[in-house]
Amino acid sequence: MSAPDDYLERVYAGVLGKIIGVYLGRPFEGWTHQRIETELGEIWNYVHEKFGVPLVVADDDISGTFTFLRALPDHGSSAELTPKQIGLTWLNYIVENRSILWWGGMGNSTEHTAFLRLTSGIPAPLSGAIATNGKTVAEQIGAQIFIDGWALVSPGNPGLAVELARKAASVSHDGEAIYAARLVAAMEAQAFVDPRIDQLIETGLSYLPSDCLITQLVNDVRNWHRKDDDWRLTRERIEKTYGYDKFSGNCHVIPNHAIIILSLLYSDDDFGRALMIANTSGWDTDCNSGNVGCLMGIKNGLNALDEKLREPVADRLFLSTADGGRCITRLAELRGGSCDHVGPGQVLRTGSQGSRSDSILCTCPWTEPGVATGPELRWSTGIG
């Protein structure tokens, strides 16, 4: 399937939606729904000033999403990319104990555990396997967090997005965490060509086993949505059935995936309302809101993003990696890629002659509505 005519704008809206979502939820990450309602109320705008912290900062949810995607250009821009190659990308760009990941220690932080496996010579996907790290570590939330970029290079091709997501997720995760990542990737890829939330969910489910817990969860939330007509009531059902007390580990994927589905179903097709629900619902707010923001941005485009949420971000993107030249950049650069890189603004295609990328470069001057800075195209011949 060819990319839609407004593909680049949709990519930009998706990346911007991801960043807005993360920064909305970051200051109160880990709070309960009850505490958020009591101390902050519904989250319709940024609250960082109440916490005395800056808005735009380096964040693992953003850095990992758009850094791990560099496995594509670094390994030939092929859909035949392997988990081992994505694992090598981790080693190339992560600065140990300093960048991208939560450095919580072996057996505590899933991503730190996977990184230690990689550095000890255990390649992906064994680095993230249940057989290597145990079920609790392998089924935390991280695979879902970092998955958006694989959908952005697969517009209208959920099958490709799912396969890339599976490989990328297996570097650090396994089991239900990979199913959650696959479902999000499929929905986001399909959102380039289909705006219907219910159909996007159906598309995602079509790539999952019918008996996995993620499928059961999604079906339950959809059924409750049909009965309740009240997001708070459905969220209460989620907490009783799939709450944090039902799963081990610091931040399990199951409760948080339920919040993503809840937010989409009750969004009324509105970007701001979807993010309000994701953030007011609590738990891993910045991660859930980031995935929801990316999907809603892709689906609804730039016009759906409220200016009060766009303007403070000012197209700034911080990617904390070993590539110091790209740590502070612009959304326009990420969206446009460069002549020898597959980035979120470039389509990865598969065909009878193998795999290739069709580069779609942004042009100067940048003209999308509301952009704060113009693009700077890099013509690089090496890795980076």
pLDDT digits (tens, 9 = 90+) for 50-80: 999 999 998 999 999 999 999 999 999 889 9
Number of domains in the chain: 1
Determine whether 103 is exposed, middle or buried from the number of CB atoms within 10 Å of its CB (0-12, 13-18, 19+). middle
Amino acid at 268: D
Q: Is residue 384 part of a domain?
A: no
The more confidently predicted of residues 349 and 378 is 349
Query: Does residue 120 have a pLDDT over 90?
Result: yes
User: Which pLDDT score is estimated for 342?
Assistant: 45
Q: How confident is the model at residue 315 (pLDDT cuts 50, 70, 90)?
A: confident
Q: Is residue 118 part of a domain?
A: yes
Query: Does residue 272 have a pLDDT over 80?
Result: yes
C-alpha span between 186 and 157 (Å, rounded): 8
* Structural domain range at position 100: 7-318
Query: Does residue 364 have a pLDDT over 50?
Result: no
Contact 66, 60 (CB under 8 A): no
Contact 4, 14 (CB under 8 A): no
| Residue 318: strand pairing partners | 328
Q: Please name the helix (run of DSSP H) or strand (run of DSSP E) that holds residue 317, with its range, or none.
A: strand 316-318
Q: Is residue 374 part of a domain?
A: no
CATH number of the domain within which 101 lies: 1.10.4080.10
| Residue 317: strand pairing partners | 329
CA end-to-end span of the chain: 29
Q: Is residue 372 part of a domain?
A: no
DSSP assignment letter at 192: T
Mean pLDDT in residue range 267-285: 98
| Residue 357: strand pairing partners | 348
**What does pLDDT average to over the chain?**
88
Q: Is residue 189 part of a domain?
A: yes
Q: Is residue 368 part of a domain?
A: no
Token pair in block for residue 224:
């409750």
Over residues 188-210, the pLDDT tens digits come to 999 999 999 999 999 999 999 99
Contact 106, 113 (CB under 8 A): yes
70, 75, 80, 82 alpha-carbon torsion, rounded to 10°: -80
Query: Does residue 383 have a pLDDT over 70?
Result: no
Q: Is residue 281 part of a domain?
A: yes
Whether this model's pTM surpasses 0.75 = yes
Q: Is residue 376 part of a domain?
A: no
C-alpha span between 128 and 85 (Å, rounded): 14
Q: Give backbone dihedrals phi and psi of 323, rounded to 5 degrees, phi first.
A: -90, 85
In this structure, how many other beta carbons lie within 10 angstroms of the beta carbon of residue 108? 14
